[in-house]
Structure 1
């Protein structure tokens, strides 16, 4: 991959931070946006700005075509069987909450089980805690192996005939663990349960085929895959979505309203109440075009090389602990001995290096790791080995500085 040519498509990377060229290693939190995405959104607001589905004038028609065209791009991107299975939401969090409130609360009761893992993002924990409290269902956790992976044997032990929902992150935002969600979905289905996959950290980095995964729901966000903030997708199998009630009510999602009752539009619009995120959807469509042009095999290969290089170089730093399995997605989470990760990140920022520090919205996982917080460097298609070299040099300097302090 011609990384230099890729980087030229991201204007934000061409800047200095604190007097140093920017090294951005926080794409797991949010990725940067290429010119194609920025220009697509800019063009919508400059030339096509209008509400969708409602007007018959030219601008309304153009906006609607672009908005619904983006839905078709998402359908192909995840290989959904129908465009009716693609719901635009505000992001992964909203997508998971939609399933929790619309599907789970209507179908679960006392004695039923919800199965998740301790490595989940808070967005895939808290909604299920609330469902359990509201319905009387039991929340269960698949145990983690010492390296932060799950085994199918433990999945089979945890999932029972009382399990109604299995919700699992595809790729951990802390450990980089790639979970065997296809196999887990098969186990869930064998027990009559449905499978939800949190794809926030997988959709940006690997080709997604929801039919091959055979998951019942799949959630992801645009902003982690070169798209704009504020928009995401909920994929759901049509037969499930058809029987689910909307969670937001108002304009756009109705078929007919009278004084005392209303009926809903067909899929997918019954879940998209109010004026939708039109510019966001158009930007997401442009991001999909951009990523497809680069190619996911190319992206995955490049990121695998980056992660391997980072693991090799970081493992040479004395007093640095790396968390998670050897085989991982494109991130490395670590801590320097006796140095709080916020201090590590602050020192690196003074050198123009952006990493993430904190609990990463995964406090149960932090407790399992027996730490309060960690530092995380995450990589994407615009990163290079030189970026990692800068990180390593910065960590050595931070180690020396805090070594002198202590």
Structure 2
């Protein structure tokens, strides 16, 4: 459909509400996106009309629920250009997917093996690997960043060796908006025989990744940042790794045969989907994918680029304001501070004017330590935001500065 901002905004019921007497200006999309009515209706429809457990029942409701859930899996397969639907594993979100892979590799890595993360990572793509190193004796190495908030690829190349077994990098930095050169990162890792996991949580609402073209081994993301519900996500796992890694959890669904003497496991994806899943969430994830594709990702990317450029220009007109993350490739995130004003104070004041931004270290403390700051104010934009809302943010920040200096 044509990109009609007013029609798009009408799809999101929450955008009609007021906060503290002001129209809501929601600029915290990097934390979670808002949900269109069609996604909300999908959840209500499941619980109202065919709520049943999946894969286990011969009755009609169970079959209907199973069909809807597996159709959603196929939607993700098509959207991300994944070779096989069974390589799509439903998780509770990005963090769950990362921990699932880390748990599997704890059976594979040995003392002295090396794994690499980047300086731009969210804590959920740092802590599990530190825990993995503690369990296995593997060594964690870090790709450094520069002042623009971009990774130093020449330094990454020097870190790689035959000891490198795993590389973990986010597709987009949640704190700065930097788009990492993941295709090159994956290629260089594969040249030394290392596997690669890409954290796509911040990318997939802005970019439509082609996972076969990337040739990535693992890719994780969360529905709630793609206009879908919370509590559901995706782990793409190449079939060869699905056969190598042990199950993450034991329970129903992930088994082939159980006796008290021995259990054999099911194949992908069920091997990693123990227990009753978030059925309504999975179905609604598929609905959210349909909705985003109905708008068209090229249109989304082009519109958000205009919003980012406009917001960057208008915010930099405020004296004393500094933007962190100025790499050439960025998604629609602006992280900033004003001189000696604490970001929390700015965030609190602009909230009184109905504007939702995120303040703090954004679960990316190493980035803040690099810049020697306590945190930033982060305004993160989606395709349903407008230049008028950017203007409201700029005026609110000006008022906050006036009050705090």
**Interval containing the TM-score (normalised by the shorter chain):** over 0.9
Output aligned runs, 1:142-291, within 5 Å.
Answer: 142-291=143-292
Aligned match of 1:378: 380
Question: Distance between the aligned counterparts of 1:144 and 1:201, measured in 2?
Answer: 18
Worse-matched range after superposition: 90-99 or 110-119: 110-119
Stretches (4+) displaced over 4 A: none
- Once the two structures are TM-superposed, the CA of residue 260 in structure 1 deviates from its matched residue by 2.5
Indicate yes or no: 2:92 matched with 1:90: yes
Secondary structure in structure 1 of the residue aligned to 2:234: strand
Q: CA offsets per residue over residues 272-323 of structure 1, 9 Å max, x none? A: 0000110000110000000000000000001111111111111111111100
Report the Cα offset of residue 178 of structure 1.
0.4
5+ residue gaps, structure 2: none
Task: Name the residue aligned to 2:7.
Answer: 5
2:117 & 2:267 partners in 1: Cα distance?
31
Quick check: 2:196–2:216 contact (8 Å CA) kept in 1? yes
Q: Secondary structure at 1:245's aligned position in 2?
A: coil
Question: Residue 198 of structure 2: SS of its match in structure 1?
Answer: strand
Distance 2:326 2:263 in 1: 52
Deviates more, 1:264-273 or 1:289-298: 264-273
3-state secondary structure, aligned to 1:218: strand
Is the 8 Å Cα contact of residues 80 and 211 (structure 2) preserved in structure 1?
yes
Shift of residue 326, structure 1, vs aligned partner: 4.5
1:85-120 C-alpha deviation (Å, 9 max, x unpaired): 100000000000111111x21221112111111110
Task: State the number of aligned residues.
Answer: 402
TM-score by length of 1: 0.98
- TM alignment of 1:3-402, pairs within 5 A: 3-102=5-104, 104-327=105-328, 328-402=330-404
Distance 1:86 1:332 in 2: 32
TM-score when normalising by structure 2: 0.98
3-state SS, counterpart of residue 107 of structure 1: coil
What's the CA shift for 1:152? 2.5
Deviation at 1:151, TM superposition (A): 3.2
Equivalent residue of 1:223, what SS?
Answer: helix
CA distance in 2, matches of 1:324, 1:331: 9
- Aligned-residue CA RMSD in angstroms? 0.8
Q: Deviations 1:204-258 (Å, cap 9, x if unpaired)?
A: 1111111111110000000000000000000011011112111111111111111
